[in-house]
Amino acid sequence: MTYAQKIANLFQMTDEVWARHANPWSVWTRYAALPLLILAVWSRIWLGWGAIAPTSIVLLWIWVNPRIFPKPQTTDNWASKAVLGERVWLNRQEVPIPKHHNPVIAFTNTINAIGFVTCVWGLVTLAVYPTLLGLSWVILGKTWFLDRMVWLFDEMRDRQPHYRDWLY
């Protein structure tokens, strides 16, 4: 089981949850989660241990988000295809993906990881610039990753009838 599959299992991503997560509102509102999480963690300056409450609320939102929005009317848009591509990516051990996607996806995940570590370091040390730099790299890496997932889905839907059925 890959690291990404373990995370999907942690989030209990059933077919129904994936269908709801394909709603563009789910995708776009998740972008707000990381800045809000950073603010919640940073609030320990003002709230002390009370910062656990806003941090918990944001973490709960991250878990609830894929479930709260209805199944979209159409999945023929960038955000929905990004989610569908993530499903294809997670299923790559069962249905192999074209090899040319792997280096770019690895690179986007590297950008994301560097940004995450930088952001955490900024949060631990309460340094604004590393926190914001890390945040920008995480958003850049995630957006590039999602864009690649759209490309992956568009390519794989022509190869797998099951994937084609996800597009409506």
| Cα 82 from Cα 146, distance rounded (Å) | 5
pTM: 0.88
| 4 pLDDT higher than 80 | no
| Cα 116 from Cα 137, distance rounded (Å) | 8
DSSP string, the chain: --HHHHHHHHTT--HHHHHHHTSHHHHHHHHTHHHHHHHHHHTHHHHGGGGHHHHHHHHHHHHHHHHHSPPPS---SHHHHHHHHHHHHHTTTTSPPPGGGHHHHHHHHHHHHHHHHHHHHHHHHT-HHHHHHHHHHHHHHHHHHHHHHHHHHHHHTTT-HHHHTT--
Residue 17 has a CB neighbour count (10 Å cut-off) of 15
**Residue 3: what pLDDT?**
63
Can you read off the two tokens belonging to residue 40?
């919640």
Mean pLDDT value across residues 128-148: 98
Could you read off the pLDDT of 59-90 as tens digits, one per residue?
999 999 999 999 999 999 999 999 999 999 99
**Residue 121: what pLDDT?**
98
- On average, the pLDDT of the chain sits at 94
Mean pLDDT value across residues 128-157: 97
- Beta-carbon-side half-sphere exposure of residue 34 (alpha carbons within 13 Å): 19
